[in-house]
Homo-oligomer: A and B are copies of this chain.
Amino acid sequence: MSAEIDNRPRRARAKRINDPEGMRRKVLDVAEAAFQARGYHASSLGDLMAAAGVSSGALHHHFPTKKALALAVIDERVAAAVEDTWIAPVRQAASAREGVRQVFEAVAAELERQGFVRGCPLNNLAHELSLADPELRLALANIFSTWRQAIADRIVADQREGREQGTDPRHFAMFAVAAYSGAMSMAKAAQDARPLRDCLAALEQSASQAASSEPEPVARRRRRVLRRYSAS
C-alpha cells in the first residue's frame, strides 16, 4: 500500500492558483464589451490588449487566434447573457406570454435608463460573423436555438396546465425572438427604445384578442430589472 493512492486525485494538470487577477477573464470581459460596442472586425487585438492591460504574449497564450477569442466570447458570455436576460425570466414568469412581456418591459426600461442602445449581443455578432465563418455561425445558431427552445418548452408547459391553447410552441417562440431581435435592431439604428415599446404594445394587443378564452385577470406585473447591458 503505497501513499500514491492518496495522491492520485491530485494528478490534475498544473493550472490556475496562479492567475491572481484572472487574465483570461479580463480579456473576455474586454472582448465581450468591445465586440458589443464596436463589433468584431472593428475591435483590434491591440485595442483589446490595451484595454485589458495584457501583453500580446498573454493574449495569444489564452486565445491562439482572434477567432478563438470570438468563439470563447460566444460560448462563455453571449450564451450566458441570453440565459440571464431571457431564458431564466421566461422560466420564472407566470406564463410564457407574461415572461416575454416582462423581458420586453425590462429591457426597454433598461435602455431608457442608459440613454443609448448597443443592441442584442447575440444578434450583433450573428450578423457580422454568420457568413464569415461556419464554426462561429453554428455556435451562434445554437444559442438562438436554445433560446427558442426554452420559450417553446414554456408554452408546452402552459398548455399542459391549461393556461394556453391553440398556439404552436415553435411558431410562437420563433415569433417572440424575431420580434425582439428586430425591435432591438431598430432601437439600435434609431438609438431609441421606442421600437421595444411599440412591439410590446402590438404583442399585448394581439394577445388580448386571443385572450377571450383565458380567465387570467390581466396578469399582474412583476418588477424585474435586468442587470445586463451595462455601460462600458
Contact = CB atoms under 8 A, between A and B. Distances in A.
Given A132-B38, A178-B195, A182-B179, A127 B171 contact: no
A188 interface: yes
Interface in A125-145: 126-128, 130-132, 137, 140-141, 144-145
A99 to B, nearest CB: 16
Contacts of A195: 174, 178
Interface string A186-209: 101111001100110111011001
A198 B171 contact: yes
Interface residues of A, number: 52
B168 A202 contact: yes
Counted per complex, copies of this chain come to 2
Contact of A185 (B132, B181, B206): B181
Given A124-B127, A128-B128, A203 B175 contact: yes
A186 B191 contact: no
B131 A185 contact: no
A26 interface: no
A183 interface: yes
A126 B205 contact: no
Contacts of A191: 130, 137, 141
Contact of A174 (B41, B131, B183): B183
B205 A132 contact: no
Interface string A201-221: 111011001100000000000
A45 interface: no
A188 B144 contact: no
Interface of A: 37-39, 41-42, 118-119, 123-124, 126-128, 130-132, 137, 140-141, 144-145, 166-168, 170-172, 174-175, 177-183, 185-186, 188-191, 194-195, 198-199, 201-203, 205-206, 209-210
8 contacts: A37-B131, A144-B189, A144-B190, A145-B190, A171-B202, A174-B198, A182-B185, A210-B210
